[in-house]
Structure 1
């Protein structure tokens, strides 16, 4: 499934993360990762440089049918990027790690978050995977 999605992104196909489901896509780039949550557009010019993808939840991607649907999906992608940026603006790595873990538990559930690799969260908020591991095991303080 992930390899099929990656191939579609690299081929610049435009898709939308189904806004009616608790699902999303962590898109790995060369030096970082981005999260596209429900309602966000993926593919096109944005993600042709993707090197891997990690579906979150029960992934469902749909093809935009109208220009308005595309416009809304671009807007949602921007919102997800802004949210991640707000987290990464915090200069304290352990706090960034804690916030991204909390956010994912809020959006999904503890079981889903537990199954996601530390490296994925680390690349989303610019910390070392060990920081994510430490925060997961010991909490923030």
Structure 2
């Protein structure tokens, strides 16, 4: 199986032990933490948590996040962003990026801050999608992700995820990635 199909497969497979592996108290953070130390993540289990109505926060002390697949687009919730509650009831799939860690906010203020951070991530994607040329949108989202995550992590993310984030075809993402890789080798 080629690596692109393998990664799509990994993103879609169910690993029922996600929640069981990682509810623990993170006293240094002051919140209960959901974390999965293994490389494989349980995307369906994450979606169940998002649909539960509970507000969770992507750990701001780690390089991690969630790509939230909706009906016709995707959203990125990066470090510090709120996920779940009524805002992600339409989430079809959640693709973890990096070593995902979700926290349960303990106060109203923590929740409010997380919602503001989620809005900032949405605004960043909005700015990128306002670029009129599809290849520019792809290049910009790839650059942004490489600022937050290492190149290996970004390379593992499927073209479809970036395409849904910035409103382009997956083929456009693939072409820009190939062009970028060719330029890197020169």
Normalising to structure 2: TM-score of the pair? 0.74
Match of 2:100 among 59, 80, 84: 59
String of CA shifts for 1:38-70, please: whole Å, max 9, x gaps. 000000111011000100000000001000000
In 2: Cα distance, 1:112 partner to 1:131 partner: 20
Aligned equivalent of 1:25 = 66
In 1: Cα distance, 2:134 partner to 2:53 partner: 33
- Deviation beyond 4 Å, 4+ runs, structure 1: none
In 1: Cα distance, 2:107 partner to 2:45 partner: 24
Structure ranking higher on relative contact order (CA contacts 8 Å, 6+ apart):
1
What is the Cα deviation at residue 12 of structure 1? 1.8
SS in 1 for 2:126: helix
Mark the structure with the bigger radius of gyration: 2
SS in 1 for 2:87: coil
**Number of residue pairs matched by the alignment:** 141
SS in 2 for 1:45: helix
Aligned equivalent of 1:85 = 126
What is the Cα deviation at residue 2 of structure 1? 1.5
What is the Cα deviation at residue 13 of structure 1? 1.6
Q: Which runs of 5+ in 1 are unaligned?
A: none
Tell me if 1:133 matches 2:177: no
In 2: Cα distance, 1:134 partner to 1:123 partner: 15
In 1: Cα distance, 2:123 partner to 2:105 partner: 22
CA RMSD of aligned residues (A): 1.3
Aligned equivalent of 1:111 = 152
Aligned equivalent of 1:101 = 142
What is the Cα deviation at residue 4 of structure 1? 1.2
